[in-house]
Amino acid sequence: MKLSTVVGYPRIGRHRELKRALEAYWSGKQTEADLLRTAAEIREANLRTQQEAGLDVIPVNDFTLYDQVLDTAALVGAVPEYYGWDGGTVDLRTYFAMARGDTERDLRALDMTKWFDANYHYIVPELVADQQFKLSSEKPFEEFAEAQAAGVNARPVLIGPLTFLLLSRPAEGETLDLDSLLDRIVPVYSEVIGRLAAAGAEWIQLDEPVLVQDRTPEELAALTRAYAAFAAAKGDAKLLVQTYFGHVGEAYQTLVSLPVDGVGLDLVRGAENLELIERHGFPADKVLAAGVVDGRNIWVNDLAASLQTLRSLGRHVASDSLWVSTSSSLMHVPIDIRLEEDLDPGVRSWMAFAEQKLYEVRILTRALAEGDDAVQDELTENRMILESRVDSPRRTNSSVVDRLSVLGTADFSRRSGYNERRNAQQAKLNLPPMPTTTIGSFPQTPDVRVMRRRFERGEITSAEYDGFIEEQIQAVVQLQEGLGLDVLVHGEFERNDMVQYFGEQLEGFAFTHNGWVQSYGSRYVRPPIIFGDVSRPRPMTVRWAEYTQGLTERPVKGMLTGPVTILNWSFVRDDQPRSETCWQIALALRDEVTDLEGAGIGVIQVDEPAIREGLPLRHADWAEYLDWAVKGFRLSTAGVSDQTQIHTHMCYSEFGDIIASISDLDADVLFIENARSDMEMLDVFRRHGYDKGVGPGVYDIHSPRVPPVEEMADNLRASLGVLSNVDFWVNPDCGLKTRRPEEVRASLTNMVAAAQELRRAAVAGR
């Protein structure tokens, strides 16, 4: 019997119910009971949707209030001592303190970084060398019981122990030993598995996505040891080890030799997995959950191609042991394309969101089980959709293609080297030592969001909306001048999102009203959809930058999102290389950068927070990606004069291993997250150095906590101790969009005071 399933499902609610419940709870407007009731309603709706789609096995415990890795830390009791946890069940206050910090108790949040190469952030567990683990959460058991009560054939999902430990970080001053930690965590996992089995779980899924990265023999041996223990603990339950986001490479033989009952492989981003099966075979005693429906992109699946893959697998996998699944959790795509009534019908017909992908899985399963004739209408419709996309004139713009074809070496390089540019820029800008600035955005208050919605609905005129934005800009300029900031921003009040705002003004993009996906916690984004060749029909930001500069004598930054980030934070067309799409975006931004310079803007920031997350998961593929990504940034910024200062910003990824490529971007100033990750970037700069301007973030903006002046001054001293020979800037970790105005004012007041304290000390020490 062929079975259909998915790796996981979106947990935000069809209409973002979880976001509203979380933010109401955090603000004190709702109780814990209210929050948990909304969460239960979302889980119930998710189960019902998957049942109605005809899935045979449905994942549970894929839901989370904030993050699945944080859930795992709570499950195994990996709570740092400074949170004051009493050692019992991890309560919501402790849970959210780890995620967001706790202002009342002056607790910082745990570090946050990108989930592999996805635009999702996970909370990084912090462990000590003698870390003790204990079962400290009832969540997987409660959610499995919910599904049982609803009559669902449910498969509990857990983050596997190797993935959990390898994604964790040592507490300050600690050194972690994988084998030692594994020996202590495996008994807790065994207890969880045993309890789920005793409760009636037929299958239990353990996610081990770290297996699609380069793994050492020692790590693979540790994996084998752990799963040998689970085999003894699972009772009558069956274990499925699930991988995603790529191929398992050198881990394949170890993976299929584990004493488990099934293996999940990504056959979309990890097409090499099929080659591994064809070369080495697949065990007759195991199920293969074949991920043939893309869980990371929104295009309609090529059902004929997927069936060909499945039938190729069928030559190596027993007929009753082949499941049809998604390549990854569907949490990375929006929920339902049918909600997008305003999309161009022609473009909309090319797309499948999470609910549509459930039906694609089911169609493929029926075709395998009953033959193509059973789903002939669906296959015919699918073929017609794919053909309409290939033939559509919406996708092509010959002028863009021609412009790319004539690019030369000079298009990717500034006119002079950094030192010569630095002198020209200082002569023009006349900045003090350790200049202060922010990353770009200021709080998007309820008033701002309400006015944007009213404008989008046609309730106010363009003139009324522009007048409101001008008032916000005037206020934020006055605030920044009053605080004593040296380089100002306009606050980005007109922007809905740092990628969407630009995509809406570029040709080749489509947008949704309800296409939300989770970035972290209650922060959701609506990724643009790149369906055709990209071009810029008109200036996008010049009007607001020019207006703001007219309000002040201090430099104002033009604010752009970089081409690599726009690419990586969008759903990208799959009919041409990603590098080509990136360079099309870069050419559009190049036009914007030169127009900003022409309007008198002397500082232009082109943010690339997603450049690290776009790295292929295998080191062997890094050089090719970094080559075209770096060139994409340089293509967008190289057209300006020496006097124009180019900034960039990066955050919430591990940047140490690409610091040379970051330098190769040739930005005049780099702003990079540093405070939330416990000044981790300083070790990178200590090892590798840096030869241009740099601003390591002085405080974490993802927490409502306001750090005192002396704490920020200590951070600055630590940074200056490493970066004393470069032009040093003072700034927060990231943009201030998500913070409340009173938090921003207090934090920036302290930041400027800390900078002034160090300036005075520097003068006195001369």
User: What CATH architecture applies to the domain 3-64+127-392?
Assistant: Alpha-Beta Barrel (3.20)
Q: What are phi and psi of 43, to 5 degrees?
A: -60, -40
Q: Tens digits of per-residue pLDDT, 212-235?
A: 999 999 999 999 999 999 999 999
pLDDT confidence of residue 330: 98
* Predicted pLDDT of residue 537: 97
Delimit the domains of the chain by residue range.
Answer: 3-64+127-392, 416-494+554-562+570-764
Mean pLDDT across the stretch 436-458? Answer: 94
Report the chain's mean pLDDT, rounded to a whole number. 95
Q: Are 154 and 59 in contact (CB under 8 A)?
A: yes
Q: What's the CA dihedral at 475, 481, 484, 487 to 10 degrees?
A: 100
pTM above 0.75, yes or no: yes
pLDDT band at 677 (very low <50, low <70, confident <90, very high): low
Is the CB of residue 505 less than 8 Å from the CB of residue 499?
Answer: no
Span 155-178, mean pLDDT?
97
- Cα(538)–Cα(591) distance, integer angstroms: 9
Spatial separation of the C-alpha atoms in residues 650 and 203, rounded to whole Å:
41
Question: Which tokens go with 300?
Answer: 């309609």
The per-residue pLDDT for 497 is 86
CA proximity to 301, closest of 388, 389, 386, 394: 386
Taking the C-alpha atoms of residue 574 and residue 350, their distance in angstroms, rounded to an integer, is 12
3-state secondary structure of 122: strand
* Amino acid in the structure at residue 163: T
Radius of gyration of the chain (CA): 26
User: What pLDDT is recorded for position 703?
Assistant: 82
**262-266, 289-293, 296-300, 697-701: least confidently modelled range:** 697-701
Positive or negative: CA dihedral 563, 568, 573, 574: positive
Could you report the per-residue pLDDT of 57-112, keeping only the tens digit for each? 999 999 999 999 999 999 999 999 999 999 999 999 999 999 999 989 999 999 99
Q: What CATH architecture is 416-494+554-562+570-764?
A: Alpha-Beta Barrel (3.20)
Residues β-bridged to residue 436: 730
pLDDT class of 653 with cuts at 50, 70, 90: low
List alpha helices for 123-271, DSSP H: 139-149, 161-167, 178-198, 217-233, 252-257
241/224 Cα distance (integer angstroms): 12
Mean pLDDT of 562-585: 96
Evaluate whether 190 touches 227 at the Cβ level (below 8 Å): no
First to last CA, the chain: 80
pLDDT at 2: 76
For residue 619, indicate whether it is catalytic.
no
Q: Which residues contact 646 (CB under 8 A, 6 or more apart)?
A: 604, 605, 606, 637, 640, 666, 667, 668, 669
Catalytic-labelled residue, pool 121, 332, 649, 702: 702
CA proximity to 4, closest of 328, 267, 325: 325
* Length reported for the chain: 766
**With DSSP H G I counted as helix, E B as strand and the rest as coil, what are the percentages for the chain, rounded to 5?**
50, 15, 40
Is 456 or 16 the better-scoring residue by pLDDT? 16
Q: What is residue 765's predicted lDDT score, i.e. its pLDDT?
A: 64
Q: Do domains 3-64+127-392 and 416-494+554-562+570-764 have the same CATH topology?
A: yes
**DSSP structure class, residue 737:** T
Rounded CA-CA distance 435/418 in Å is 18
Question: Which tokens belong to 731?
Answer: 């700034």
d(CA 73, CA 159): 10
Question: What residues form DSSP beta bridges with 672?
Answer: 650, 696
Q: How far apart are CA 475 and CA 410, in angstroms?
A: 41
Other beta carbons within 10 Å of 594: 16
Q: What crossing angle do the helices spanning 178-198 and 139-149 adopt, rounded to 10°?
A: 30
Beta strand spans in 298-349 (E) = 322-326
Q: How far apart are CA 58 and CA 196, in angstroms?
A: 15
pLDDT over threshold 70, residue 258: yes
Residue 36: band (very low, low, confident or very high) from pLDDT cuts 50, 70, 90: very high
- Position of tokens 């799409």? 581
Q: Are 213 and 165 in contact (CB under 8 A)?
A: no
Q: How far apart, in whole angstroms, are the C-alpha atoms of residue 589 and residue 572?
A: 17
Contact assessment for residue 258 and residue 292, using Cβ atoms and an 8 Å cutoff: no
